[in-house]
Amino acid sequence: MVQGADAGTTKRRGKAKAPPANAEGLTQEQMLQAYRDMLLIRRFEEKAGQLYGMGLIGGFCHLYIGQEAVVVGMQLCLQPGDQVITSYRDHGHMLATGMEARGVMAELTGRSGGYSKGKGGSMHMFSREKGFYGGHGIVGAQVSIGAGLAFANMYREDGTVCLTYYGDGAANQGQVFESYNLAALFKLPVIFVIENNKYGMGTSADRASASKDRSKDGSPWGIPGEQVDGMDVAAVKAAGERAVAHCRAGRGPYILEMQTYRYRGHSMSDPAKYRTREEVQKMREQHDCIETARKILLEAGLPEAELKTVDDDVKAIVADSAEFAQTSPEPDESELWTDILLEAR
Ligand SMILES: Cc1ncc(C[n+]2csc(CCOP(=O)(O)OP(=O)(O)O)c2C)c(N)n1
Ligand SMILES: [Mg+2]
C-alpha cells in the first residue's frame, strides 16, 4: 500500500527506541504500515474462508494466509506505474496494490459490485489503475505475460518494473525458462518472485524439483538471484530494493526466491495428507510474519493501544467488505452477453 517509501528516513513515532537489527531498512512508520497491510490480508482471507464455508462463495478459492510478508514487503519497493501479476492465489496481491477490500470480496461472492462485476471470481480480477494484471488460473501462464509487461516498460523507457509472482510448482514449467531467456536477452525490467511455500497442490517441492536453490534458476542466462526469508517483511523489502534498483538501472531481470509457507490448504478442499500438523504449527508459532512485526513494534516502544487501533480499523474494513459482498446485487442477466468477446478488426 505504501508506494515509493523512502528507506532512508529515520523519523519514528513517540519515544521509540532504535529498531532492532531484524527490522533493518524499515522505519517504524513503514513497519507499522507493513503490519497493518499484512493484518488486512490475513483478516480478509479468514473472512473469505468463513464466507466460503457458509456457501456464499463458489468455485475455487486459494487463500494467502501465512505468505503475507512477501507481497507487502515487495510492495514497499514499488512506485506508481509499476506492475504486479500473479497466479490464482491472488487476493493478498490485490489488497497490497491498494485495490478495495469491498470490490475484491464482492467478486468472490459473485456480485455486481465486484472488480469483474461478479463474473470473474477469485482468480480473475484486474485493476489497471493500481497496476494489478491478474489473477491467472493456468499454472505458470502469468510468467510470460509478466515478461511481456516488462517488454512494454522497456519499450516505453519509463523506468517502471513488473513484479511477476509464481509458485515453486510453477517454477518447473517450461514457459518460465523461455521467459528467463527472453528477459535476459532483452534486459527486461522484470523481477521474478518465486513464492516457494514448499508445496504445489499436495506435492512437496523437494519431490517435484531437481533445483534446490531456485534463486539460481536463471544462472544459464546470467540472471542474478537471491534466496530470501519470505516470513520476514524487512528482509523481503531489503531484497526487493536491490532487485528493483537492478531493474531500474537497465540491468535486466532479477530472481527472488521467497521462502515462505501457507498455513491453509491449497484450495478450499485439501486432504492435508502431505504434511504434518506439527509442521504447520511450528511455522505459525516460530515464524509468523505478523507476530514478528508486532513484537518488533512493541520492542521499539510503540504503545500497544496503537496496535489495537490498527487491529480495530482492519477488522472494520473487513466487516464492511463482507457486508457489501452480501448486499451488492447479483449481476443482471444481460451481463451474460457483455465483456465476453472483443471484436478484433
Ligand atoms: C497448467 C496447469 N497445470 C496444472 C494445474 C492444476 N494446479 C493448480 S495449482 C497447482 C499447484 C501449483 O503450485 P505452486 O506453483 O507451488 O503454487 P501454490 O499453489 O503453492 O501457490 C496445480 C498443479 C493448473 N491450474 N494449470
Ligand atoms: Mg507452492
- Domains recognised in the chain with CATH numbers: 25-308 (3.40.50.970)
Please say whether the beta carbons of 42 and 24 come within 8 A: no
Q: Which ligand ends up closest to the CA of 67?
A: 1
CA of 233 to the centre of ligand 2 (A): 19
End-to-end CA distance of the chain: 39
- The answer, yes or no, to whether residue 342 has pLDDT greater than 80, is no
pLDDT in tens, 212-236: 999 999 999 999 999 999 999 999 9
Please say whether the beta carbons of 228 and 259 come within 8 A: yes
- The answer, yes or no, to whether residue 8 has pLDDT greater than 50, is no
Rounded Cα gap, residues 299 and 293, in angstroms: 10
Burial profile 240-279: b = 16 or more Cβ within 10 angstroms, e = fewer: bbbbbebbeeeebbbbbbbbbbbbbbbbbeeeeebeeeee
Q: Is the CB of 168 under 6 A from ligand 1?
A: yes
For atom 4 of ligand 1, which residue has the closest CA? 139
Q: Name residue 291's amino acid.
A: E
Strand, helix or coil for residue 255: strand
108 half-sphere exposure, CB direction, 13 A CA radius = 33
The pLDDT confidence band at residue 309, using thresholds 50, 70 and 90, is very high
- The answer, yes or no, to whether residue 62 has pLDDT greater than 50, is yes
CA of 224 to the centre of ligand 2 (A): 22
CA 341 to chain centre: 29
* Torsion over CA: 305, 308, 313, 314 (sign): positive
Sheet holding 190-196, edge to edge: 83-85, 162-167, 190-196, 254-259, 225-229
Q: Cell 472494520 sits at which residue? A: 316
Q: Compute the average pLDDT of residues 123-134.
A: 97
For atom 21 of ligand 1, which residue has the closest CA? 167
Work out the percent of the chain whose per-residue pLDDT is above 90.
Answer: 90
Nearest to 28 by CA among 247, 292, 298: 298
| Helix residue ranges, H only, the chain | 28-53, 68-75, 91-97, 101-108, 141-156, 174-185, 205-208, 233-248, 277-287, 289-299, 304-327
Please say whether the beta carbons of 224 and 276 come within 8 A: no
pLDDT of residue 7: 33
CA of 137 to the centre of ligand 1 (A): 8
Q: What average pLDDT does the chain have?
A: 93
pLDDT of residue 340: 79
Element (H, E) at 84: strand 83-85
- Residue 166 dihedral angles phi and psi, to the nearest 5°: -160, 170
pLDDT of residue 222: 98
Pick from 90, 139, 258 the residue to mutate for probing ligand 1's pocket: most ligand atoms within 8 Å of its CB: 139
pLDDT of residue 22: 53
pLDDT of residue 15: 42
Q: Determine which of 2-11, 24-33, 66-75, 190-199 has the lowest per-residue pLDDT on average.
A: 2-11
Q: Is the CB of 93 under 6 A from ligand 1?
A: no
Q: Name residue 251's amino acid.
A: R
Pick from 201, 262, 270 the residue to mutate for probing ligand 1's pocket: most ligand atoms within 8 Å of its CB: 201
Q: Compute the average pLDDT of residues 142-160.
A: 97
Ligand 1 atom nearest to 197, measured from its CA: 20
- The answer, yes or no, to whether residue 299 has pLDDT greater than 60, is yes
Rounded Cα gap, residues 132 and 224, in angstroms: 25
- The answer, yes or no, to whether residue 12 has pLDDT greater than 80, is no
